[in-house]
A and B are shown apart, each in its own frame.
Chain A
Amino acid sequence: EDQVTQSPEALRLQEGESSSLNCSYTVSGLRGLFWYRQDPGKGPEFLFTLYSAGEEKEKERLKATLTKKESFLHITAPKPEDSATYLCAVFKAAGNKLTFGGGTRVLVKP
């Protein structure tokens, strides 16, 4: 059975304190991995797609990387507006459905 596990469940950071979020997966036939950001009461906002091990994507203070077993989302010098829940999801070669991890709730304090 496909499994996606995110850690930690929650992360409290001081403004400017860089950190990394982990998404580990056990999936047969992985086609790619998505990262989303979700604010309370809103829908997930697309951030990145990663397709192959070694791939990296960057957007502002966020950088996503992918290995054969896990993905990392690095937050460099975070600001309070980076506070959100970050979700990773995998999709397989067969079918388009996404399997989500449980998310990491990030709180950045000024």
Chain B
Amino acid sequence: NAGVMQNPRHLVRRRGQEARLRCSPMKGHSHVYWYRQLPEEGLKFMVYLQKENIIDESGMPKERFSAEFPKEGPSILRIQQVVRGDSAAYFCASSRAGGSYEQYFGPGTRLTVT
């Protein structure tokens, strides 16, 4: 299966803990995007990365959230000191470079903060 992979699929954290969400893009894709879907709300853009570069982080909360896409390995979305309002589904998407904008989504990570 050459689709976008995300893990874990479900993550439970207590308030104040850290959450790490991983995303491996589709084979041949070098652009990664993170989106968040809050309960009863639509998908919202968070951040757009290429290998070792953050291209657009205009949708990222200013504090506690960070993202990276290292030269080797998956992209990681990190949430420090989680709060109940962080409970949501986090989706990763990937696309090819070079002008093709079609973004393919992974199955998502459902984060629950207790």
Contacts and interface: CB of A to CB of B under 8 A. Distances in A.
Interface of B: 4, 6, 31, 33, 35, 41-45, 48, 55-56, 58-59, 91, 93, 95, 101-108
A26 to B, nearest CB: 16
A interface: dominant SS: strand
A97 B59 contact: yes
Interface residues of A, number: 22
Interface of A: 31-32, 34, 36, 42-46, 49, 87, 89, 91, 95-103
Nearest to A95: B56
Contacts of B59: 97
Contacts of A45: 105
Contacts of A96: 31, 33, 48, 55-56, 95, 101, 103
Contacts of B108: 42-43
24 contacts: A32-B101, A34-B102, A42-B107, A43-B6, A46-B103, A46-B104, A46-B105, A49-B101, A87-B43, A91-B101, A95-B48, A96-B33, A96-B48, A96-B56, A96-B101, A96-B103, A97-B48, A97-B58, A98-B35, A98-B103, A99-B45, A100-B35, A100-B43, A103-B42
Contact of B91 (A44, A89, A97): A44
Given A43-B107, A44-B91, A103-B42, A97 B102 contact: no
Contacts of A102: 41-42
B interface: dominant SS: strand
Nearest to A91: B101
Given A44-B43, A95-B48, A34 B103 contact: yes
Nearest to B92: A43
Contacts of B42: 87, 100-103
A83 B44 CA distance: 23
A97 B104 CA distance: 13
A45 B33 CA distance: 15
A96 B29 CA distance: 14
